[in-house]
Amino acid sequence: MSERLLVFDEVRLSFAGVVAVDGVSFDVNAGELFAIIGPNGAGKTSIFNCLNGVYLPQEGRINLDGTDLLGLRPDKIAELGVARMFQNIELFSNLTTLDNILLGRNLHMKSGILSSALYFGKAKREETAHRRRAEEIIDFLEIAQYRKSLVGMLPYGVQKRVELGRALAMDPRILLLDEPVAGMNLEETEDMARFILDIQEELQVTMILVEHDMGLVMDIADRIMVIDFGRKIAEGTPDQIQKNPDVIRAYLGEEFETEGLDDEAPASEGSRL
């Protein structure tokens, strides 16, 4: 039986009377690729913001491997091993690929101000180790040719890989992927899907994926949760979700209920919902 890593239990979040997350519960097992899908405005990003401490829910429990995350600052949650790849690129455009990825190592740096300023002994050894780890990630994501390039000059798909690399540099226990293929063409989407699977299989990182590309989700997710208007309406394997009438109604309307979701349609043929 898989080890349960994350518990998200009866979480409720509202803003001025508007309910964004309405008593949602789910578990994520260690090593799992768990996807959250739903129509625009369903509450997917709000769940992510609760997970990494940006929002504080009014009710519920969020527990990472025995540690309560509610009330902790985002930086403390990051130190516990929660990393996030953002939907909108949040890189420093005037820094190189290597420097941006090194920023993800910041929470692991322990040297004091004096030793870091003078750059000797422990501080030098520490930076060398962090640079080595950053270079490993660059090689893993196949962006070595861009390592010294300013990020702002790179193609969009490469920038998304750098964004992913910075999150990986945190050595996360759980990685939040917020629409990782948004704005990508088919080739870039296929590359990102391959890297996500490699992260799961080779690095054994647990992931939660929020994505509108149904072709991608159905291809790579182990389990899927569907939310609509802030409430969970279904959870199961990709095959179970595609056949669930509540999911079909939420996405396509009741007139399509008997047709099911087309699990054969690739991302390039309008499978973005």
Confidence category of residue 273, pLDDT binned at 50, 70, 90? very low
Q: How far apart are CA 120 and CA 123, in angstroms?
A: 6
pLDDT attached to residue 123: 66
Q: What is the pLDDT of residues 63-111, one digit of tens each?
A: 999 999 999 999 999 999 999 998 888 899 999 999 999 999 887 776 5
Q: In this model, does residue 262 exceed pLDDT 80? A: no
Number of Cβ atoms within 10 Å of the Cβ of 260? 14
Q: In this model, does residue 17 exceed pLDDT 80? A: yes
Domain span holding position 236: 1-81+172-273
CA angle, residues 103, 104, 105, in degrees to nearest 5: 90
Statement to judge: residues 187 and 267 lie in one domain: yes
pTM to 2 decimal places: 0.85
Q: What is the mean pLDDT of the chain?
A: 87
CATH classification of the domain holding 268: 3.40.50.300
Q: What is the pLDDT of residues 83-96, one digit of tens each?
A: 999 888 889 999 99
Contact 229, 42 (CB under 8 A): yes
Contact 266, 181 (CB under 8 A): no
Helix axes 156-168, 186-201, angle to 10 degrees: 10
Q: How far apart are CA 226 and CA 7, in angstroms?
A: 17
Q: In this model, does residue 269 exceed pLDDT 70? A: no
Statement to judge: residues 59 and 125 lie in one domain: no
Confidence category of residue 265, pLDDT binned at 50, 70, 90? very low
Q: In this model, does residue 258 exceed pLDDT 60? A: no
Query: Average of pLDDT values for 194-199?
Result: 97
Statement to judge: residues 217 and 269 lie in one domain: yes
Statement to judge: residues 182 and 156 lie in one domain: no
Query: Which of 110, 86, 210, 229 has its CA nearest to residue 159?
Result: 86
Statement to judge: residues 178 and 211 lie in one domain: yes
Residue 57 lies in a domain: yes
Pairing of the two strands 33-37 and 223-228: parallel
Statement to judge: residues 190 and 251 lie in one domain: yes
